[in-house]
Every structure is written in structure tokens, then in C-alpha cells.
Chains A and B, each alone.
Chain A
Amino acid sequence: MRHDHLITSKQLSRADIETVLDHAADIAADPSAVADRHAGTLLGLLFFEPSTRTKMSFETAMKRLGGDVVDMGSIESSSVKKGETLADTVRVIEGYADAIVLRHPKQGSATMASEFVDVPLLNAGDGAGHHPTQTLLDLYTIRENAGLDDLTIGIMGDLKYGRTVHSLAHALTNFDTRQHFVSPESLRLPREVVYDLHQQQDGTGIREHESLEDILPSLDVLYVTRIQRERFPDENEYQTVAGEYQIDVETLEAASDDLTVMHPLPRVDEIAPEIDQTDHAAYFEQAHNGVPVRMALLDLLLSDDGTAGPDGTDDTSGGDLDE
């Protein structure tokens, strides 16, 4: 069975993930092979929240596949401002586009929207919920830098509201990984995510910490997210914790030389700019990987039979998103 929609990374098996990542690697090596593959295809972009990387990388991906996008534009200039429901909006755009990319501030919005449309719907972030396409490009970057098995990863920052964290954590349970979650007490993983991680990996590979210090030397990857100032009712409380979750070159002296540092971006001050010049930094590479990964995903979802070969031709021997 293939997926019609991509709502959470929990839908994705190891085979699904490897299919997308392998296809992305082929596309990255030779983008011209798929350049006209989806000529005439239109992708609807519905972004109810600001976005730079996700929106532009989807737009770039669709155009590099030969297709185009129709964009709702800002909320202020759309019918949303008149009180239109999300259910109505997606039903209208379904008539214009061959697939829909949705970002919305409400948790569960993508699940609900997918119940109203037949075209593929991709969740590009639903509040503090999930962000599965970010996860695919994260996994691609991790695989390129450290491999996906026998992996020790630290995930640090705002784990409570960080949708990229939730999706990544779920997806990593498909692989032989040890996950260390580092955050202030007030921003620990939601109990829903912990519940799922224990269901998926019986909890053996999951640890929660308040300090990075003890685990840093053992990490292959450190995935940093922004501590969001707006989540704290008290500025002093924010200042207290924020400083503890910033890394600089001095911090990384205790790390392995091979440590890969990632961040879904945008960063503010949680990673010092001096780290950009080191071999640890992978966050700009990570952002760039959004294009081939989203090209691969769109190619797989939009191919008539759900298959797409590595050379851009249909290949029924593999490539189905849910083999």
C-alpha cells in the first residue's frame, strides 16, 4: 500500500525512508534526469505561518521537477482573513493543484485537512505537532555525515514545542539509534511523544537529560533547536536556561572530532557563528538538502503508480513509498 498523504513520520517505515533518501541521493547526483518529469504539475502551497526554508525548498523542488506552484500568499491577503475554515480552503485548492503542502499553527490540522481532500497532502508543520518532510532531510543529512545505524544522537533545546524534534525522534526508532534528549525541565518532550517512543522502541534507546556535559563525548550527532523566548512567561527564567543550551567552540572541545552539529534553522544564538567554519557544522548543508529530498518525495508521491526509478523513469522494481 502506498501513502496518499504524509502527515507524520510515524507513517514511515525504514524501507519508506530509505526509498526517499536513496532517490534523493540519485537526484542530487544528477538533477537533470528528473528535470521535466512533472511538467504541468501544480503544487498548492498553503502556509498559514511564516516559513522561509520549507516553503522555498518545496517551491524549488517542484520547479526543478518541471512543475510549478500556486501559492495562497499571506494570510492577510487570503480568504482566511474573512473567516474561511481550513476544511473549505483545502477543498478549494484541491481543485487547483495536484498536491497540497500545508503549514498551520494548530496541532492536528494536517490530519483534519487530509480527511477533506483526495490529492496528496504533505504536512509542512502543524503547530507543535509534526514536520515529517524536515525529518526526511534531517535523516538524509545524518546519513551523509554519520550513517543511520549504531548512531548516538543528542537532541537539545525546546523539545516540548519542537515539531522537528518530535518527527525526528519517531523516525529514528526505525534505526539502531540511542537518543539523548537534552532540555530544561519545562521544555521536556511531551508525554505523547515519550509514550510513542516507548511503544516503538520499548524505551531502551531513550534518555532525558538537563545537561549536555555528560553525554557530549559519546555523541555522533548533536541536533540543536532554538529555545523559544516566547514560551517563557518570565524573561529571567528564559535567560537562565537559554545560556545553558548554547554551544560554542569551547563547548565542543569535549566532543568527538567527528561530531556532526545540526539545526533545523533559523538559529538565533544557540550555535555560535564560529562553529560555522568547523567541520562539525552541517546545518547549512542540512538546509540545502531540503531540495533534493523534497524533489524525491514529490516525485514518488506524484508518479502515476507511486513509483519512480533512480533515473527518473518509472521503475516498478522499487521506489514505492511504502514497500
Chain B
Amino acid sequence: MSNEGDNEDVDHELRVSKIRDGTVIDHVRGGQALNVLAILGIDGSKGEELSIGMNVPSDRLARKDIVKVEGRELSQDEVDVLSLIAPDATINIVRDYDVEEKHRVERPDVVEGVLSCPNAACITTGNEPVTSRFTVLEDGVRCSYCETIVREEIASLIDT
């Protein structure tokens, strides 16, 4: 298996510390790293060990962010949801300093409980016992209840 931070952008990846076991989320669009953490529900309050690189030069993306989460391997569901704000991301699962698995994100058909509907008149914005649900469109997301379509600023809908 290759060493963490293989080939492309190796110098830049090494700007943030290597991890022993966990996940490296690479090729996140520049400026989206904090939204990636929000969508994963990671805010550091539980003692997670995090390394974040933001707006570092990249060959594939002009500028990219990198997020490294020590001691946690992301589930496929989490990876899929990431695609909404980081469609170019690659997910590296690291074990004992080596990249054991490498995945590209795939867009899911539906995301539940992750985003809040921006429509104040939507039933999901009240105190009903309902989990938000959005269908994923080619160029955005759509509330399964009020049908509002959001194409821009999806990250601002992240239910933190």
C-alpha cells in the first residue's frame, strides 16, 4: 500500500500532520473544509483529533482543502453525503500510516437528517417529529416535503 499523501500534491498534503489511523478527505473544493466537518457532525467537542489544510495549491483543483480525521473511518453513507458539497473528493482510509482504501464520493439519491429546508413555510421547519429529507438532483437538492429546490449554497443548509 502506498504511503499517505501519494504522488499528487504530496508536499502540500504534508503541510498538515500525517495520521496513524483514520480518514483523509482530499480534493475538497477550496474553502469547503469546515462545511465538510459540519456535514459529518464533527466539531471537535468530542475530542476528535483533526488536521485541516485550506486553500492549498492543487494540480487537479486550483485550490483544495484537506481534512484528516484521526481514529475515525467514514461510513459509505457519510461519504455519499459529502458529495453534495465536495463532489471531487477522494477518501483515503489510513491504517498504521498506510492508505489502505481509496474511494471517490458518489452522489446519493436521497439525504436524510443532514440538511435543513430553507423554506420557512415548509412543514419540516416547525416542531413536527419529522426528519428532513432531500432528493439529490443533478445540480442541487430538493426538499421531499415542500419540494423547494436549492442549487446554490447547499452548505448553508447543513443541519448543525
Contacts and interface: CB of A to CB of B under 8 A. Distances in A.
Interface of A: 85-87, 104-109, 111-112, 115, 126-129, 191-192, 195
A248 B123 CA distance: 39
20 contacts: A85-B129, A86-B128, A87-B128, A104-B123, A106-B122, A106-B123, A107-B121, A107-B123, A107-B146, A108-B146, A111-B145, A112-B123, A112-B130, A115-B130, A128-B121, A129-B147, A192-B142, A192-B148, A192-B149, A195-B149
A108 B124 contact: yes
Contacts of A87: 128-130
A106 B126 contact: yes
Given A111-B144, A192-B142, A106 B130 contact: no
- Interface residues of A, dominant DSSP: mixed
Contacts of A195: 149
Given A106-B121, A107-B121, A107-B122, A112 B145 contact: yes
B143 interface: yes
**Interface bracket on B:** 10 to 19
B75 interface: no
Interface in B109-140: 119, 121-124, 126-130
A112 B117 CA distance: 14
Contact of B147 (A86, A106, A192): A192
Contacts of B128: 85-87, 112
A223 to B, nearest CB: 21
**Which of B123, B142, B148 has the most C-beta atoms of chain A within 10 angstroms of its own C-beta?**
B123
B143 to A, nearest CB: 7
B157 to A, nearest CB: 15
Nearest to B119: A107
Contacts of B149: 191-192, 195
- Interface residues of B, dominant DSSP: loop
Nearest to B129: A87
**Which of A86, A108, A129, A195 has the most C-beta atoms of chain B within 10 angstroms of its own C-beta?**
A108
Contacts, number: 54
A108 B127 contact: no
A267 to B, nearest CB: 24
A144 B6 CA distance: 71
Given A107-B145, A129-B146, A192-B147, 10 more contacts: A87-B128, A87-B130, A106-B121, A107-B123, A108-B124, A108-B144, A111-B123, A112-B145, A115-B130, A195-B149
Given A86-B123, A112-B124, A128-B121, A107 B147 contact: yes
Contacts of B130: 87, 112, 115
B113 to A, nearest CB: 14
A108 B129 contact: no
A86 B147 CA distance: 19
A191 B121 CA distance: 16
A272 B66 CA distance: 65
Contacts of A104: 123
A163 to B, nearest CB: 11
5 smallest A-B Cβ distances: which pairs? A108-B145, A107-B146, A108-B146, A106-B123, A108-B123
B132 to A, nearest CB: 10
Nearest to A104: B123
A126 B124 CA distance: 13
Nearest to B147: A192
A217 B38 CA distance: 56
A106 B147 CA distance: 12
A112 B147 CA distance: 12
A85 B130 CA distance: 11
A108 B134 CA distance: 12
Contacts of B148: 107, 192
Nearest to A110: B123
B63 to A, nearest CB: 31
Contacts of B145: 107-108, 111-112
B118 to A, nearest CB: 12
Contact of B143 (A86, A105, A108): A108
A115 B130 CA distance: 9
Nearest to A113: B123
A126 B128 CA distance: 15
**Which of B127, B129, B143, B145 has the most C-beta atoms of chain A within 10 angstroms of its own C-beta?**
B145
Contacts of B147: 107-108, 129, 192
